[in-house]
Amino acid sequence: MAKHDYPYKKSINLTAWILQFLVCFVLLGASAWLLWLADQHDYDDVLGEYHGLFTAGAGLQIAIAGSNIVMNIIEIVLIAKKQMPPALFLTSACTKTAVWGVIFILNLISVSILAVILAIILLATSLLQLIHAAIIVHRKRRGTLRGGNYTPALNPSGLEEGIHYPPAGSTEYKSPAASSQPLQYGYPMESGYAPQQQPVGSYELGNRTQHV
């Protein structure tokens, strides 16, 4: 399985996971207690026609809190094993932010102070993870993020990077103008070569010198 060793910040994720676990366990306990109350016949007159809605709300809250706990466990396992893709982490953060955002709005409408405080904690931590995940995905798309399957290229020849070295035995033509040595008769002066002077009144034909 592919490794996804991306820079997930422990300070952000650990804070979010711990607070979400604590709040979700509180919600699970409160919902279980409410279901127990709804099942008691002594409260049938109090709940009246809202008995079914009360029970459904408590059951839905158990399902949502339980799902958040499961998602956090999956995030912890995948990040610990370096198998968490940034896209999956972003999707998980988006889902939690959207769900707790809706619940926060519903709690504001119902004017439940304790529920609003708990929803704020869950929404803030989910939003924090969402921002962190969005930054990682954005850097990955721009190619400025180190991680995943990236492996630095090795340089076994020990040559300096950034300089182009022609391959051995290259027959590439190099202009004399590119040489830093002064030239004489089209050849480097250090070579000591100078073309032979032809006698006056002669010309070269083939490999023999003809005299006029």
Whether this prediction's pTM lies above 0.85 is answered by no
> How much is the pLDDT for 149?
47
Above 70 in pLDDT, residue 76?
yes
pLDDT digits over 16-57, tens only? 999 999 999 999 998 888 888 777 666 666 566 666 677 788
Q: How confident is the model at residue 141 (pLDDT cuts 50, 70, 90)?
A: confident
Return mean pLDDT, the chain. Answer: 76
Residue 171 has what pLDDT? 54
Q: Strand 183-184 vs strand 187-188: parallel, antiparallel, or unpaired? A: antiparallel
Whether 69 and 21 have beta carbons less than 8 Å apart is answered as yes
DSSP 192-208: T--PPPPPTTEEEETTE
Q: What angle do CA 189, 193, 199 make, to 5 degrees?
A: 125
Cα–Cα distance between 198 and 195 in angstroms, integer?
9
Position 101 scores a pLDDT of 95
Q: What is the dihedral of CA 26, 31, 37, 39, to 10 degrees?
A: -150
Q: Which residues contact 5 (CB under 8 A, 6 or more apart)?
A: 82, 147, 148
Nearest to 22 by CA among 117, 128, 132, 130: 117
Task: Find the Cα–Cα–Cα–Cα dihedral 18, 20, 22, 28, rounded to 10°.
Answer: -150
Q: What is the pLDDT of residue 172?
A: 54
Report pLDDT for 99. Answer: 95
Out of 1-5, 15-19, 151-155, give the one with best mean pLDDT.
Answer: 15-19
- Asked if the model's pLDDT at residue 165 lies above 70, the reply is no
**Is the model more confident about 10 or about 192?**
10
Helix (H, G, I), strand (E, B) or coil at 187: strand
